[in-house]
């Protein structure tokens, strides 16, 4: 709808135009400041230009078919759509069904999206969930809009952290055997380490041999168990990955990538170490790639992984990381430039912190994980739908705080309940009608001559595709959440103010309800939530 109307006006006015929704609904469905942008070129006041444009547009046949009114107010152009035009758009949408809005993105770029990538050294905690849910929903949305997406998890399955995991399990086993042990300050803690120790004993039996070999063996064993648990938790959250890429599997490629960086003049030696000259490409300082003992730093592994990603020939690459990775961006982009890639093809989205409350108090930490709130625990408390919705309800770059208790309520204060309830109400209406009526009669009815509140509700439901495109292009999925809350709220207001069944307006009202249900269902599916038909 938006693109169709925008296209008509741009063709007639021969200029780019942006359409907004007026805050005052009485002014119409759309407003534009195009007269202000033309003022300098035409050397006239916006108010005069707006009045001239109104007279011009009113004479055009296509405008007479689309707009019920075109007016000017203080230089702004205001447009009200014809009910017959809205009715035709509704017919088209209902005939498309769940394909309404599908494949409408004009740019058909391909997107390679990395998210979660949590170290397989412990269970997923709530800090991982926000980026995980966002990445999954972004992929869903992109696919729906017609672009190719690839969802990937980079598994850091080697290095100091895996060694520390093995050491933590090893020490716990010794402790279980009665030995006095001293854990290093950065050892992994929590009951899950005890669980891993017990499983290791069950699997290996008597663990005997050289200590370092045992620690390495336990590290690999524990890592595989934790990765399996992570994958299970992601599945419970509705998150699907296209691939899990192992850092260990790419280790052999590090030397080759290092050589390419050298050949490009991106590496130099100093203090017995090999440095990436990232400051030449905008980084705040150079970074060590190889230590004095000739072992690579973790940065080398990240660069190798990004080289692998860029070899997959996608148009655009998105990394979704915690806000503590802000210093990471410049060094990776510098390496990509040295390797001959266009670094602007890499986009890094940084996720701010999450704070959970339980009836106004800090949410209880998991005994199993030590000082973390486990994702599994919150899933158990509020369910997948509420969790996904609330984690997508704010911009990624803003802190998110919510009270779990509010998401357990069965009333309008719980947004996901309120949205589900709107859809369930519509399905109840349809079930009652179909006991005595014909569904085709609903679709054949006209949505003209409806009260203004119903016409506004129809316009809002038809606006879904514009919201979806804006959410994807701007990487702001909270726009979908806001849209769904507003659409559900508008529907409940309409439902409470108007009798729908067994009235002269029964058929058009039910058609309107079907349109609202369709937009709620599609919108929720982009968030990874299945719309409920009954509560």
Q: Which of 38-42, 102-106, 259-263 bottoms out in mean pLDDT, i.e. has the lowest?
A: 38-42
DSSP β-ladder status, 316-322 and 287-290: unpaired
Query: Residue 444 corresponds to which tokens in the numbers above?
Result: 């054949």
Tally Cβ neighbours within 10 Å of residue 425. Answer: 20
Distance between CA atoms of 505 and 162, rounded to whole angstroms? 66
> If DSSP codes are grouped into helix, strand and coil, which group holds residue 136?
helix
**Residue 369 pLDDT level (bands cut at 50, 70, 90):** low
Predicted confidence at residue 446, as pLDDT, reads 95
Q: Please, are residues 377 and 330 in contact by the beta-carbon 8 Å criterion? A: no
Q: Tens digits of per-residue pLDDT, 139-193?
A: 999 999 999 999 999 999 998 999 999 999 999 999 999 999 999 999 998 899 9
Tally Cβ neighbours within 10 Å of residue 330. Answer: 19
Tally Cβ neighbours within 10 Å of residue 12. Answer: 15
What sections of 348-450 are H helices per DSSP?
A: 375-392, 415-434, 439-444
Predicted confidence at residue 365, as pLDDT, reads 64
How much of the chain is in helix, strand and coil states, percent to nearest 5? 55, 15, 30
Q: Name the residue among 235, 194, 227, 222 with its Cα closest to residue 119.
A: 227
Q: Please, are residues 462 and 89 in contact by the beta-carbon 8 Å criterion? A: yes
Check residues 369 and 327 and name the one with the higher pLDDT. 327
Q: Which residue has the tokens 């001959």?
A: 340
Q: Tens digits of per-residue pLDDT, 206-241?
A: 788 899 999 999 999 999 999 999 999 999 999 999
**Number of helices (H), then strands (E), in the chain:** 19, 14
The domain spans of the chain are 2-81, 88-106+411-526
In the predicted structure, residue 366 carries a pLDDT above the cut 70: no
**Residue 503 pLDDT level (bands cut at 50, 70, 90):** very high
For 241-263, the DSSP string reads -SEEEETGGGGGGHHHHHHHHHH
Q: Tens digits of per-residue pLDDT, 285-306?
A: 999 999 999 999 999 999 999 9
Predicted confidence at residue 352, as pLDDT, reads 93
* Mean of all residue pLDDT scores within the chain: 94
DSSP 8-state assignment for residue 58: H
Predicted confidence at residue 407, as pLDDT, reads 87
Query: Residue 263 corresponds to which tokens in the numbers above?
Result: 């050949």
Q: Which of 21-25, 31-35, 272-276 bottoms out in mean pLDDT, i.e. has the lowest?
A: 21-25
Q: Which of 17-21, 280-284, 503-507, 525-529 bottoms out in mean pLDDT, i.e. has the lowest?
A: 17-21
Under CATH, which architecture does the 2-81 domain have?
2-Layer Sandwich (3.30)
Q: Tens digits of per-residue pLDDT, 74-121?
A: 899 999 999 999 999 999 999 999 999 999 998 889 999 999 999 999
φ/ψ region of 265 (left if φ > 0, alpha if ψ in -120 to 50, else beta) reads left
Distance between CA atoms of 92 and 90, rounded to whole angstroms? 5
Predicted confidence at residue 11, as pLDDT, reads 87
Distance between CA atoms of 124 and 8, rounded to whole angstroms? 50
In the predicted structure, residue 390 carries a pLDDT above the cut 80: yes
Predicted confidence at residue 7, as pLDDT, reads 87
Tally Cβ neighbours within 10 Å of residue 235. Answer: 11
Name the β-bridge partners of 71.
Answer: 78
Q: Which of 56-70, 134-148, 471-485 bottoms out in mean pLDDT, i.e. has the lowest?
A: 56-70
Under CATH, which architecture does the 88-106+411-526 domain have?
Orthogonal Bundle (1.10)
When pLDDT is averaged across residues 40-51 and rounded to a whole number, the result is 89
Express as a percent the part of the chain with pLDDT over 90: 81
**Residue 3 pLDDT level (bands cut at 50, 70, 90):** confident
Check residues 327 and 170 and name the one with the higher pLDDT. 170
In the predicted structure, residue 319 carries a pLDDT above the cut 80: yes
- Sheet with 30-32, side-by-side order of all strands: 30-32, 76-81, 67-73
> If DSSP codes are grouped into helix, strand and coil, which group holds residue 317?
strand
When pLDDT is averaged across residues 396-413 and rounded to a whole number, the result is 88
DSSP β-ladder status, 76-81 and 67-73: antiparallel
Tally Cβ neighbours within 10 Å of residue 288. Answer: 16
């Amino acid at each position: 709808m938006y693109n169709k109307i925008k296209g008509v006006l741009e063709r007639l006015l021969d200029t780019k135009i942006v359409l907004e929704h007026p805050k005052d609904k009485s002014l119409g469905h759309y407003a534009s400041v195009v007269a202000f942008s033309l003022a300098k070129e035409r050397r006239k006041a916006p108010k005069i230009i707006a009045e001239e444009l109104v007279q011009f547009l009113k004479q055009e046949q296509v405008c007479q078919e689309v707009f019920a009114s075109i007016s000017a107010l203080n230089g702004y152009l205001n447009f009200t759509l014809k009910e017959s035009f809205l009715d035709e758009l509704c017919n088209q949408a209902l005939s498309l069904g769940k394909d309404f809005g599908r494949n409408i993105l004009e740019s058909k770029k391909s997107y390679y999206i990395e998210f979660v990538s949590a170290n397989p050294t412990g269970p997923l905690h709530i800090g991982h969930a926000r980026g995980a849910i966002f990445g999954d929903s972004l992929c869903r949305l992109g696919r729906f809009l017609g672009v190719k997406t690839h969802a990937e998890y980079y598994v850091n399955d080697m290095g100091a952290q895996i060694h520390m995991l093995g050491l933590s399990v090893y020490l716990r086993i010794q402790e279980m055997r009665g030995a006095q042990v001293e854990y290093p300050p950065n050892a992994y803690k929590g009951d899950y380490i005890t669980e891993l120790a017990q499983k290791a004993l069950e699997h290996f039996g008597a663990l005997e041999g050289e200590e370092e070999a045992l620690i390495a063996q336990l590290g690999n064993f524990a890592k595989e168990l934790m990765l399996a648990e992570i994958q299970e938790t992601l599945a419970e959250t509705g998150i699907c990955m296209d691939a899990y890429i192992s850092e260990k599997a790419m280790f052999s490629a590090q030397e080759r990538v290092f050589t390419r960086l050298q050949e490009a003049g991106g590496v130099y030696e100093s203090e017995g170490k090999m440095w990436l000259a990232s400051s030449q490409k905008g980084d705040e300082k150079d970074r060590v790639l190889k230590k004095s003992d000739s072992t690579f730093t973790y940065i080398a592994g990240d660069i190798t992984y990004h080289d692998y990603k860029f070899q997959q020939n996608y148009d655009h690459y998105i990394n979704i990381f915690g806000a503590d990775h802000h210093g990471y961006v410049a060094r990776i982009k510098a390496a990509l430039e040295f390797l001959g890639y266009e670094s602007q093809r890499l986009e890094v989205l940084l996720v701010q912190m999450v704070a959970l409350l339980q009836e106004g108090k800090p949410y209880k930490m998991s005994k199993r994980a030590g000082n973390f709130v486990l994702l599994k625990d919150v899933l158990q408390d509020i369910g997948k739908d509420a969790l996904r919705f609330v984690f997508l309800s704010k911009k990624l770059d803003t802190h998110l705080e919510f009270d779990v208790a509010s998401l357990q309520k069965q009333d309008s204060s719980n947004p996901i309940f309120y949205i589900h309830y709107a859809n369930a109400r519509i399905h109840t209406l349809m079930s009652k009608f179909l006991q005595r009526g014909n569904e085709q009669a609903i679709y054949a009815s006209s949505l003209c001559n409806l009260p203004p509140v119903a016409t506004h509700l129809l316009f809002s439901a038809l606006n879904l595709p514009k919201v979806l495109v804006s959410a994807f292009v701007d990487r702001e999925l909270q726009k979908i959440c806001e849209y769904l809350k507003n659409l559900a709220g508008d529907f409940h207001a309409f439902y409470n103010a108007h009798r729908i069944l067994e009235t002269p307006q029964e058929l058009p009202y039910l058609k309107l309800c079907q349109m609202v249900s369709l937009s709620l269902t599609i919108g929720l599916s982009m968030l990874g939530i299945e719309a409920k038909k009954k509560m």
